[in-house]
Structure 1
Amino acid sequence: MSDPYAELLARAEADPDVLGIVLTGSRARDGMATGHSDTDVIVVVAEYGGAWTNTTRTPELDTIPTSLADLADVSDRWGRYAYRGARVLLDRLDGRVAEQVTAQATLTPAETDAWVREELDGYVNFIYRAAKSRRDGRPDLARLEEIEAASWFGWTLFALYGRVRPYNKYLRWELETYPLPAPWTADRVIAGLTEQPSALYGDLEKVVRAKGYGDVLDSWGPELDLLR
């Protein structure tokens, strides 16, 4: 029986136009693959063309051609987590492919600053709206605001530590494999996000102020009293 993954690796390794091969997805992360998991492979090339032009997907294998320029492009915020925990199987550029994979999965100090400020303000916005809805006797609408707040909290929390937010599927794996400082255990974060994201505000505020982002909160003025 043929092995599509092995065949892809053999074909890519034999092609001098291929600069790198990166295994990502569940099979790159220990303990995440199940019987339903396919194999996700990023094939790095200098430029798109020939067999390495379009992404192909089958139930067993996703082949994702990526140009060297696109690998270096970190503007796709959501796509960056694909490189977290990814495994570089081939690097014909003396480590440059691995360096770009690491750059995708981590934030520069400038990115950290920009992301924290943007995402923190969004999180506060939604939990403030939730608090107002609860105050006004609209618990169902408050719940909708809480649901919106969860994503903003996730981006904020991981950006505070120079990391990209994991996909929800990998949230527990991320926090157990690469733990954050207390109190951000997997159980604490997941329970907070699924039950009431605004309940995480108190602990988050301590970290935010310790890391120098208190001015983002203070810009909300007396409205913060409603959150506390």
Structure 2
Amino acid sequence: MLKSLLLYFIILFSAHGKTIYQVSLGSPKEWVGISKLLYAEIAKEMKDTTFEISKIPSKRVIKELIKGTYDVEVGWHKDNVNSKELVFTNTPIVELNFAVITNNPEKFKNIGQRGLTGLTLGIPRGAHYIHHKIPVDVRYEVNRLEQAFDLLDIGRIDGVVTTIQNFKNIMKKSRNKKYKIINELGYMIKLYPMLAKRNIILRDSIEVGLQRMRKNGAYKRIKKKTGIQLLEKDLQN
């Protein structure tokens, strides 16, 4: 026990006196780079602080936060958590508009009335907590978004669930101009930093950082680097 505590404090106060917080990432691995940019901006609002991002399976995130292995999860959907041991920031770290993309719109005719029964939709592996509104028996998990579109092209799946921004990027590269957005199935997801209740002071510090990021042009800088819009609307500096 003593050795574990000693190791904890060595890690916490290493890096030339900086406090190091461990951040879990339950989202697909493509989000590692974006998450580092987001938390680097938050760290600017916290004296002598740095965040280390680690990709872990999404199914382990809540357990590891409660256990104390990680201090904060990059971003999680509030509606999918019932534990009283966890808290969220009030301000989301990202707001993402999702859509179902298909090359065969006829399969989705009258979708509002009959639902998704009999259809198969490709989603990124590890993103099931984001797409919890999509029935499990409809999901087809893929490792990469490009893989999902390849499967769509050969008829293995009926549609791909992705953000509008990702779809725009795919369309810039793709020769297939038959892809269509099924507007009836669009939805927006807000992801919030999630922490164990004992880390409420850290939660409040991150909240301050998020609010300042929305005012100081940080999201626009990240969009310029990544090409991804992380808020529903661009905010003015």
- Pairwise same-fold verdict (TM > 0.5): no
Normalization by structure 1: what TM-score? Answer: 0.28
Structure that is richer in strand per residue: 2
Q: Which has the larger radius of gyration?
A: 1
Structure that is richer in helix per residue: 1
Greater RCO, CA 8 A, separation 6+: 2
